[in-house]
Amino acid sequence: MPHTLQRYLFQRFFFTSFYTVTLFVGILIIGNALKDVLPLLASGKIQWSFFFNILVHLTPSLVAYALPLGMSTATLLVLGRLSSHNELIAMKASGLSLYSIMAPLALLTALGTIFALVVNFYWGPAAISYYRSALSNLIRQRPLQFIQAGTFVKDFPGYMFYIEKKRNNWVDQCWLWELDDRQDSGINIFLHSKKGFLRYDAKTHHIILTLLHGSGEKYTTHQGLSESQLITFENTSVALPLETLLGQNTFKKRLDHMKLSELLFQKRLAQTPAQKIPVNLEIQKRTVMSFAILTLIVISIPLGIKLSRAETSANIVLAIGLALAFYFIVMAITWLDTKPQYHPDWLIWVPGFILQLWGIGLFKRALKH
C-alpha cells in the first residue's frame, strides 16, 4: 500500500511539475522573443526557420530559472489540493508519516537539483552562447536583409534613405539624404533615383548603395543664407558603414556565458583575489540557483499544507512571489562583485540557508498537527 501511494504521489508531483515548468519556460521564451527576435521577424530581417531555431536553442538557458519556479508552484498546487480534500489527513490516519508522504517529492527534488546543475554549468551556457552569437552574426551573414523597403532607414550614421520597392538586391524609387548638422536644413545632399542596386563589401564591412540615372540637390550655407544646387548623375555610389550595427551586436563571451571548464580556466588565469571574486561568484551563483529547487520546495511544503486551498491562482501567486524575492536577493548580491571585502561569493548562500531554516521550522510545526 505505501509503495502504491508513493508512486501515485510521485506521478502527481512529476506531471504537475512538468506542466508548470513548461508553462514558465514558455513565458520566458515569449518574453525574450518579444525583446530580441520578434521585431526582426516582423520586419522581414529573419526567416521563420531562423526564428524557431534560435528559440529552440534559447530554451535550455531558461530552464535554469523555470525549474525552481515551476517545481515550487507544483508543490504548492499538489499539497494545497491534497490538504483541501483532506487526503493528507486520510494518509496520516492510515499510518503514513509526513516524512513518508514527502519521500516522492524529496526524490523528485534531488533529481531536479542534479538536472539543474547540468543545465546551469553546461547546457545553459552553451545555449545562451549560441543564441547571442547567432544574433550578433546575423548582420554579417545576411547584411542586405537589413535594408527593408517601405520604411525610412536610419541605422547608418550620416545617412537616411527610403526605398519604395526591393527585389533581391535591386531597388526601385530610392530617396537618400546625406545628413549634415552644419547646414540649416540639416541636409547636405538629397538624391533620388528610379533604379539602383545593393551589394555588400565584406572587406570594409560596408553596404554599397548604387543609384542609377537620378537627380538631386546639394545644399550649402553661405553668409547665413541657404542655397541649393540641382545635380544629375548617371550613377553614384554611397558606402553605408555597418560599424554601428556591428558594434551593437558584437558577441563577447562573458562569465555568465561560460561552461564550468571555462570558468575554472578563467579562475586559474586570475592573479589576484580581487580578480578571482567575479569568477567564484559566478560559480557559486549557478550552484545556488541549482539548489534553489531544494530551497523553494522546503519552504513550499509547509506552506502548501497550511494553505488548505484548491485554488490554483493563490498558490501560483505565492510561488511566484517566493521565487522572485529569492531571485532578486541573489541577483542583488552579485552586484557586489567589485567589492571583495564583503565576500559576495559566500554571502550569496545566505538567502537560501535562511529560507531553508524557515521552511524546516514550519515543517516541524506541521509534524505536530
- pLDDT, tens digit (0-9, with 9 covering 90-100), for 279-335: 888 888 899 988 989 888 888 888 877 765 545 566 667 777 878 888 888 888 888
Does residue 95 surpass a pLDDT of 50?
yes
Q: Which long-range contacts (CB under 8 A, 24 or more apart) does 326-332 make?
A: 326/68, 326/292, 326/295, 326/296, 326/351, 326/352, 326/355, 327/65, 327/292, 330/285, 330/288, 330/289, 330/292
8-17, 218-227, 256-265: which is most confident: 8-17
Q: At what angle do helices 312-334 and 292-307 cross, to 10 degrees?
A: 150
Query: How do residues 126-167 score in pLDDT, each as one tens digit?
Result: 887 887 777 767 666 666 666 777 778 877 878 888 888 888
Grade residue 203 by pLDDT with cuts at 50, 70 and 90: confident
pTM value > 0.85: no
| pLDDT (0 to 100) of residue 329 | 87
